Structure 1
Amino acid sequence: MPNLALRSPTDDTRADDLVHRLRAWLPLALGQALLRDEYLGFVLGSPRAALSRHGGPEHVTGSCFVFTPDLAQVLLCFHKKGGFWVQLGGHVEPADGSVAETAFREAREECGIDDLAPIGDGILDLDRHALSGAFSCSAHWDVGFASITRPEAAPVASDESDDVAWWPVGALPENVPPLFARRLAGVLAELDHQQRSAMSVAPAAP
């Protein structure tokens, strides 16, 4: 028998973690709730392949929306293959213990800022999108998380992007993916809801 204590996160553990997070998330938007159910079907249908970049033409990826602490600016990279400004993120790697770890690792690697502070570890956004012929994959089932960092932090572009820069959340560059502004607005709405919910259950001051 294999030694289960030595199992790599490349086994079903990451899929189990993602399924747990998906089931725990109650999205504000109906479209996100319906998409969450599709994600559950996709991951449960083929757990290992769904989370591997080599598991097939469609697979799960992890993204991280990096904000300033006041959530007024978002850090975007200009993707070389896509030719557009987009949030930070990428494929699940063998050493990643979860899709959340993928998102935060990719964010640090793609912006060169080490002191990113995750805003919780719950899912904030789902976005399944087809890819152009410039990519080796045909579609990504992207899972979005968020973090904050110092507004004065100076990002440095990685090999996968031509530039990384801060943008006001209300004044995004023209060349972003279709519906990206709506996606970003959804993430901000989820964060606002989380903050209001936390305030409503906070104990009263003595």
Structure 2
Amino acid sequence: MTLHADTARVLADWRAPEPEQDRLRADFLRHLEDHPDGMWRECAPGHITASVLVLDAARTRALLTLHGKIKIWLQLGGHCEPGDATLAGAALREAAEESGIAGLRLLPGGPVQLDRHRVRCHPGGSWHLDVQYAAVAPPDARHAISDESDDLGWFPLDALPEPTDDALRRLAARAARAAPVTS
């Protein structure tokens, strides 16, 4: 199965938590139908990306990156690469590369939410069609700042740092509901 086919399957099977998310799901599927290259950065109208909100083992804090280019706190993630076999695998690869943490485990049930946002990948702009997961870090996880980040830090899910955006706040709230606190 190709990454394109895996992504279409993930999106087709995903149960959106609300009508707006279901509209995005349908838009993402339409994008893949219309663009055989829709997984790749080279697709100028837009492309699928994969991101992960990494939670600590207790599931009370999120590891966020102060993005080196846009200078706001975000979840980890980015572009799919030709070596990625699955969308979930792309998300985990990105999270491990950007956090330095091995052994991340995605929460069961697939993506947590979808987000579409403008980016400057091409002259005149483009769209990231971001499929957002949540993962749990091992109890002894230690992070390391990558070249893409100005900083990394753990923040309570209910007290995210500024500056950030509404998409991250929604992702944190959904991840908190999907990953109850462990003792």
TM-score by length of 1: 0.79
Q: Measure how far apart 1:75 and its partner are.
A: 0.7
Which residue in 1 is equivalent to 2:65? 77
* Kept in 2: contact 1:80–1:161 (CA 8 A): yes
Q: Measure how far apart 1:138 and its partner are.
A: 2.2
Which residue in 1 is equivalent to 2:97? 109
* Kept in 2: contact 1:156–1:163 (CA 8 A): no
Identify unmatched segments of 5+ residues in structure 2. Answer: none
Q: Measure how far apart 1:121 and its partner are.
A: 6.3
Tell me, in whole angstroms, the C-alpha distance in 2 between the residues paired with 1:78 and 1:33.
Answer: 29
| Aligned AA (1:70) | A
1:29 to 14, 18, 22: 18
2:110 to 99, 115, 122: 122
Which residue in 1 is equivalent to 2:87? 99
| Aligned AA (1:62) | A
Aligned residues: 178
1:54 aligns with 2:42: yes
Tell me, in whole angstroms, the C-alpha distance in 2 between the residues paired with 1:185 and 1:43.
Answer: 28
Change (3 A) 1:79 1:91: same
* Kept in 2: contact 1:125–1:187 (CA 8 A): no
Q: Measure how far apart 1:92 and its partner are.
A: 0.6
Tell me, in whole angstroms, the C-alpha distance in 2 between the residues paired with 1:32 and 1:86.
Answer: 20
Tell me, in whole angstroms, the C-alpha distance in 2 between the residues paired with 1:14 and 1:44.
Answer: 13
Identify unmatched segments of 5+ residues in structure 1. Answer: 1-11, 196-206
Change (3 A) 1:182 1:140: same
What is the aligned-residue RMSD (CA, Å)? 1.9
Give the structure with the larger helix fraction.
1
Identity %: 36
